[in-house]
Structure formats: structure tokens, C-alpha cells
Amino acid sequence: MYPRAFFNGQWVSSADLQIPLTDLGFLQGVTVVERLRTFLHRPFRPGDHLLRLRRSLDIVGWDVESIMGPLEMAMDQLLPTNQALLRAGEDWSMVALVTPGPSAAAATPTLCVHGGPLPFADWGRLYHQGVAVVLSSVRQIPANCLPSELKCRSRMHYYLADRQAAASRPGARAILLDQSGHLAEASTANVVAYFQDRGLLTPRRENVLPGISLEVLFELAEELGIPCHREDISPAGFAQADEAFLTSTSICMLPIVEQNGVPVGLGTPGPIFRRLLQAWSDLVGVDVARQAQQWGGDRGQ
């Protein structure tokens, strides 16, 4: 049974979702998107995600209010509409996307809200195994071409960076540098480094997508007495980190244990990662790693 999805004012089977080949979302990748996840079947930080979606729509220059009304209603209705598919202990991904339709002057944009069980099999093992990363030669698009705060599907540079990383080290994720040669972000995650003498460091806000999970991580760190900073991070500086993490909506946070073939710290998930992940689990009432391992194994069989 396929989940039900909201598509241009109607609730349809997600198996029937279709965007025409003439839609600029397909032709030019002009798609504004926002992704949430649930904990205990409750959307996490929905207000923050909707605020970021509003900002993305404003950057593109679309009619924010006429779009946000239907999308917010659909986001509220997505889980109740799919109540029969919700399984105890499992959580969902929720996605809202908007395209301009077949032309920039189209009267009605394409609106879609869809979701389904989180693909825990993709990352469940990584909370204990860790992630290898490669600093890619593919650079972040400069802000005067594509603002870093715009969350969209125009991501060919991310794809090329991850392809390069995987060719260098199978299974590795790419980290892109900005145009000045400082750390920027991974394809679907913010990057955070930890130094014993300084605390958490992440790139400046203006150089990366404003990550909601990154904000959560900093809130948790401050509660634990761990200092947090935003500044330029050089590749050489990043190589000296005692620990490092990826953070994003679905995964919450994962430990980076290898960079360009060299161990990060001891090459295993470290004590700061474990403290922060435990704090995250306490915040949401779900053991984040255990849930991913349980459902990842179950769904992978």
C-alpha cells in the first residue's frame, strides 16, 4: 500500500505522482524543497522548517502566502491521512516541494507534499561505524549565483562531488569547499568539527545552508557546556579536529571517522559524539541510533 500524497490540491497515491517533462522543476531543476522528520510520529521543529521554506520561496520571488497556505495545510494532514500506515516505533520523512510549473510565468505552481518511512537502512550502521569523507575538488556554488540559504533541488555540484568521493574511497561522502577554499558543507548535511581546546566549530552562516539540525546540535552543546563557534575552517585545520560530525534532518548527527584516508581523532566515534547523540535522544524521546539500527535491519531483510 502506497502512502497518500498531496499534489496540486488533491490527495493521491504516491505511486501516481507525476511532474510533466515540461515543468521547469524537471527542465531546469527549479524546485524549492523542505524536508522534515518525525519522532514518535510528531514532526520535529515544523515551525523552523516552514520558516526556512518561506525564506526559500521569497528568494525565488514567488507568491509566498498563496503557496504556503495549501502546503501548511497538507503538512498538517499528511500523517493523519496516512494513519493506517504508521507503525509503532517507526518514523517518517515529510517533504514539501514547489516548482513554477511549465513556465516562469505559469499562473499555478506545482505543489506537492509527500512522505514515507525513513530509510534507516541507509545509515543505521553508521552511528557505530562512522562515516568516511573526502574533500572534493568540486566547489560550492558562489552566493552570487545560488544563495546558500536557498534550499532547492538544483544540486548537480553535490552529485558530482559525491561521485568523485565515492570513486576515491568507496562509500565515502564528499565535503565541498567554498570559493575561498574553506570548508562549506556535504551534499545533504552540515559539517561540524570538535576541538578539545575550542569546542564545536562550523562554517559561517553566510557560506552554508542554515541547518535546523545544526541549530539543535548547538543548543544541545551549549546545555552541556560545550563552546560553539562559527568561523572559516581551512582543510588543514579540519584535519586537526579531535572529532567531526555530519548533521541533517534525517540522520540527526553521524560521526566522521576518516578524512581523505586519514583517521579523524582515534578513527572511531568519540565521547563528544556520544554525549551529543544521547542529549539528542533525550530531547526527542527516542534512542536515535537504536531506532535506526532496529528499523534499518528490519527493512533491509
Domain boundaries, the chain: 4-118, 126-285
Around 249, how many Cα atoms within 13 Å sit in the side-chain half-sphere? Answer: 25
β-strands 131-139, 252-259 pairing? parallel
Separation between Cα atoms, residue 44 and residue 85, nearest integer Å = 19
Please check the confidence at residue 42 and state whether its pLDDT lies above 70.
yes
> What whole-number distance in Å separates Cα of residue 6 and Cα of residue 115?
10
Percent of the chain's residues with pLDDT above 70: 97
Q: Does residue 299 surpass a pLDDT of 50?
A: no
pLDDT in tens, 201-228: 999 998 899 999 999 999 999 999 999 9
* SS3 at position 39: strand
List Cα–Cα distances, 100 to 62, 242, 265, 281, in angstroms.
8, 45, 46, 38
Whether the per-residue pLDDT at 175 is higher than 70: the answer is: yes
Is residue 49 within 8 Å of 212, Cβ to Cβ?
Answer: yes
The conformation of residue 152, written as its DSSP 8-state character, comes to: B
pLDDT per residue as tens digits for the range 239-255: 999 999 999 999 999 99
Is residue 178 exposed (0-12), middle (13-18) or buried (19+ Cβ within 10 Å)? buried
> What pLDDT does residue 301 have?
32
Q: What is the DSSP string of 262-301?
A: EESTTSS--HHHHHHHHHHHHHHTS-HHHHHHHHHHHHH-
Above 50 in pLDDT, residue 63?
A: yes
Query: Would you say 270 and 243 are in contact if contact means Cβ atoms under 8 Å apart?
Result: yes
On the question of pLDDT at 298 being above 70, the answer is no
Q: How many residues can be counted in the chain?
A: 301
The pLDDT of residue 247 is 98
Residue 300 pLDDT exceeds 70: no
CATH says 126-285 is which class? Answer: alpha beta
Given 3.30.470.10, 3.40.640.10, 3.40.50.300, 3.90.1010.10, which CATH number is that of 4-118? 3.30.470.10
Mean pLDDT for the chain? 95
DSSP secondary structure string for all residues of 77-134: HHHHHTGGG--TT--EEEEEEEE--SSTT-SS-EEEEEEEE--GGGTTTHHHH-EEEE
